[in-house]
Chains A and B, each alone.
Chain A
Amino acid sequence: MTTTDTPPIQARGLHKTFRGGAAVHDVSFTVSSGRVVGLLGPNGAGKTTTIRMLLGLAAPDSGDSLVHGRPYREWPRPLQVVGTVLDAGGLHPGRTGRQHLQVAAAQAQVAADRIDEVLAEVDMTAAADRPINGYSLGMRQRIALATALLATPQVLILDEPSNGLDPAGMHWLRQRMRAFADAGGAVLLSSHVLSDVKQIADDIVVIAGGRVVADLPLADAVASHDGDLERFYLELTDGRAGVR
């Protein structure tokens, strides 16, 4: 895994407004190599919009974002740089898990034998040839995670990756993220589950009302409120409507 001086993820003054009034204002933060950063905030706070701007899926009105020093769109093979879980993976219900990964492998230009490796890693080998419409939410999430890991990326950007995972799955996910970061990777983890974030994150960025209201090491946040991350979070976000 490559570790350079350039932070793997940089958001710099991201600003975007929508016709409905929701917006993201001047969002800036950095995710360094070897760190897991928890992106926290109420529903509609702007977490997903921020992630979409990082990944070139939405264009900011101003500001920019870089992945290992380059805008995401400028990477020739971006899936080999960033693995992503968004929208439960965009799985077509008529395909099997393996077929979904075959499409993803063709997109990422990785060898087909990698598919079996990631299926084994997310413990989905036995169900790989069943149609996705028969999968539970947790199984879909495992296939989405397998897709993110397929091209052995250096950065993981995960939006609510633990949705639907059973305790064993959540335990595996936490260990996998930790190992990924310890090997020099960078993880941006958007989640509502504070207990998960508390167990895995090194740093947290809290977004409320479309603005970054906290960006600090998790240990500092927890220490400032007698070990209570929930109280820290609620004090920051209380009274700030998620949908602006």
Chain B
Amino acid sequence: MFRAELLKLTTTTAPRVALAVGAGGLILTQLVFVTVMPMLASGQIGPGAAALGDSLPTVDLSSAAAQLATLSPLGSSSAGSIGIAVIAVVLLGVLAGTGDYRHGGIVGAALAQPRRARLLLAKAAAAGVAGLVTGLAFALVSLLILLGTLAVLDVPVALDPLQIGGVLARGTGAVAALTVLGLAVGMLARSQLAGVLVMLAILLLEPIVQSIAQLISGALPVWAQLLPLSLANAVIGAGEFALNPAVAAAALLALTGGALALAALAFNRRDI
């Protein structure tokens, strides 16, 4: 069933569109981060850092922290914003989960594998592989943009290969986990429109909820750090996060596993 589910993903255009849009968004975001921001700061374009004040994030590409942030396969967005790459990744999962319902392929799949939990596992494995490939592609795009920009600006690489490899590997894993999370939401929603809207709402509400929680309690509560996007960014570890990558990875896996378990429960009980 795994091979059949993988074939489904490779023989339709939706996953390729999601991948292309995500990669395009990532390239745009990263290019802005590594080129426009420093130019704004230096005053090459715009009124300059002094005039822009706090509204201009500090980007010093010679620092290891800035270079790490640029390497994130989810885009080097500052906390509180949602990157196009993230949206593409979770929607890839949602489409993998709802495509069969939209076109009736779920009947054929359930006839081939009547044990629904096994069918869902096959779907999750295929979506996970698609997520790994996507994550790897996004990671390579981020790496190439960083190295290209540093070469053009004649800025030395401040990261050692282990740091680079770590961020890229963790980023690839985080993308895979988000894709499977999207699949679980898609399998629960069944309707493509509902799945996309629910997933977008989850992503868009996360920074809002975190801001409100922070305003109320004065600091970001632990539960607010356990939301999917924050967890994915903490796993990648390309910035300052309260959770260390290992703890965040465990929490993200638990969240994804929980969502899959819910989807399996619903899938098992429903008539098709």
Contact A52 B111 (CB under 8 A): no
Given A57-B271, A58-B272, A78 and B7 touching (CB < 8 A)?
Answer: no
B12 proximal to A (CB < 8 A): yes
A95 proximal to B (CB < 8 A): yes
Contacts of B111 in A (CB 8 A): 55, 57, 78-79, 82, 84
Which positions 76-107 of chain A face chain B at CB distance < 8 Å?
A: 78-79, 82, 84, 86-95, 99, 102-104, 106-107
| Nearest CB of chain B from residue A33's CB, rounded to whole Å | 21
B112 proximal to A (CB < 8 A): yes
Contacts of A79 in B (CB 8 A): 111-112
| Nearest CB of chain A from residue B64's CB, rounded to whole Å | 45
Contact of B4 among A95, A106, A147 (CB under 8 A): A106
A56 proximal to B (CB < 8 A): yes
Given A78-B114, A95-B12, A107-B113, A86 and B1 touching (CB < 8 A)?
Answer: no
| Nearest CB of chain B from residue A2's CB, rounded to whole Å | 19
B217 proximal to A (CB < 8 A): no
| Nearest CB of chain B from residue A144's CB, rounded to whole Å | 9
Interface size on A, residues (CB 8 A): 31
| Nearest CB of chain A from residue B105's CB, rounded to whole Å | 5
Contact A90 B11 (CB under 8 A): no
Which positions 164-195 of chain B face chain A at CB distance < 8 Å?
A: none
Contacts of B11 in A (CB 8 A): 92, 94-95, 99, 102-103
Contact of A92 among B3, B4, B105, B115 (CB under 8 A): B105
Binary flags per residue of B94-128, CB closer than 8 Å to A gives 1, else 0: 00000110011111111111110000000000000
A127 proximal to B (CB < 8 A): no
| Nearest CB of chain A from residue B110's CB, rounded to whole Å | 6
Contacts of B110 in A (CB 8 A): 56-57
Contact of A89 among B1, B104, B106, B272 (CB under 8 A): B104
A222 proximal to B (CB < 8 A): no
A236 proximal to B (CB < 8 A): no
Contacts of B7 in A (CB 8 A): 99, 102-103, 106
Contacts of A56 in B (CB 8 A): 110, 114
The contact sample of 7 A-B pairs, CB cut-off 8 A, is A56-B114, A79-B111, A94-B14, A95-B12, A102-B11, A103-B11, A106-B3
Chain A residues near B (Cβ < 8 Å): 52, 55-59, 72-73, 75, 78-79, 82, 84, 86-95, 99, 102-104, 106-108, 147
